[in-house]
Structure 1
């Protein structure tokens, strides 16, 4: 853990050293501009996946009335993790850690909702709050964080389970696109409730959850859901291996737990009111940022999923006063300017490190620290008859020597959401 205020895991240490975060108070951080760029890119990818399964984006208030939470039983059930407050009139509220009550109240307020209008799949990406007793590991366990939460309303159990499977597939697609080594595990329903629950976990030593995984991929569960004597896979009989994981997503089939409390009903083909069958689905947006760095990075270099890196590439011109400066600096600026025309998808996604009073080595070290997927260096070979650039691929550690045309061909494969 280290002493008070000291970084306690790789992602926290790297993000603080690179100036991506600045601590404000325990469990709360300033997100610096590059971090916000990564956050916004991640949200764009999440939006694509949620809208591909019929998700409609909305915003719900962070302040949630106490009576909604008392009605569901979670005002007391959440315990001290719930931030509670009262307005000047003494009316109670909480800062929402999740929005099951609010989403259900919204749907309940829609009069004459027809079965023809279902399924409803409503989601938001907003700040959430949890009064963690011991915030730690930077963005992995904080008091204020960004989360994507979706709430689904279906006309039958069968339809609700179809929605559940559909959203789980969207989560799989998301993590595959990010290139993250995830595992979906059976999980407890906890204070949110419901009858079926799965977590999406990134295996990592710093993870707070213990997972039991079949080596053949037939079974995976959070250890807290297992019978104490279960040590082998129920499908193939192989011995389960244990690992630790960081929870980055969670899905719940809720049934009518919340719709029955708020009377969230729709009208059937026979024009009779029926309770909506619900599901809820969370993604820890800021936790995914930190967990990605945790599992992909080296001890001294950030490696982002290339899709959400704050910037795709960094150009490093020669040091001022070096023998390469005269030809190399002008050539590098031309390449940088031509990039927008040749590769418009990278416009605004590249950085020219013009701190030419610093050595190339120092700037290259800073570039590795920030995690640009590609770094293009105007080194000694830029003065050759056919100038050659050094291109560092941060995700593989590979160094390529390429002409201007080769650089453009390589960068044409860079992905930007």
Structure 2
């Protein structure tokens, strides 16, 4: 690791590649007239470090992104207040990027009829630029990617040609500050938050930093609270004292002490259904990741079935449904039926990997995910699972390479 990488790692906690750091430094050198990188680093000031950090953080977000998490949180808040109408529900979102996530939560609660005096949302981001943008409450068209834009009519005013400002009623529910999760002072905040959003942050951390970040979040969250993570981050939380929240597509977790007793030996992220979705239409799942090991494709059946085979999409949808019900054997059978018809289906291999992870057959799970990314090199979810396995096997270099690859795919897909 270069001195510049170490400096930014200490400042942000992010596991940044040399190429990303060098590109950011080159950009800043052109603006500061530094002769070379050594001179630039020697002349580093707090203000310049802040400017450099701005170039390496990932502030991409939009309103109502992965909506099911907001619906799950709203139901939880409603139940919280029904049990005690005098309490103040505290919600944390970190990182908050440009404020899209905390403002979305405030809009969802407002539309659900939750009184404004019943909750408060704290939003933190390491980037001063993101914090400034969030406080302004002004957004361009790129921040509105939901199919249903009724919320924009209810909670925004149109300013200029393409910009919108969030209403004052929503803005006052959100307290926005600059902050780094890894540097949080827990002395006055232990168990402080009922709901925490920390989505797509851990995928940029190495194993020790991930563990430290989860420990901070565990301390901040109330014992019976709920935390919402990114899809690929759920397994990391489940390896450090959390259990999955039983709410489809929300990708939430709860502390193990508050979870129901029944739990598989190895917890994987819930399968993302594609054929059906509760309440709202969600964007398509990200694509999948790469591999070196391959497993033998399922053997074709000896004789063709008498009836016409089910459509391929139905077989995979049924496999996901059965997996979510805990019927691993039946789900695996559906995947193999699908592979008999479509032997190069990356998604079927991905599901088989999840099923084998659930039954603690980690080597077989790894082989299936590697076949998945061999067939579909940009399969984001499979790459993330492979990265977690590499970490569990103490393969730091392999995990870092897989995470970096997944991060590039993630940013490309969001663009």
Work out which of the two has the higher radius of gyration on C-alpha atoms and give 1 or 2: 1
Higher relative contact order (CA 8 A, sep 6+): 1
Same fold (TM over 0.5): no
TM-score band by shorter chain is: under 0.3
Calculate the TM-score normalised by the size of structure 1.
0.25
Calculate the TM-score normalised by the size of structure 2.
0.25
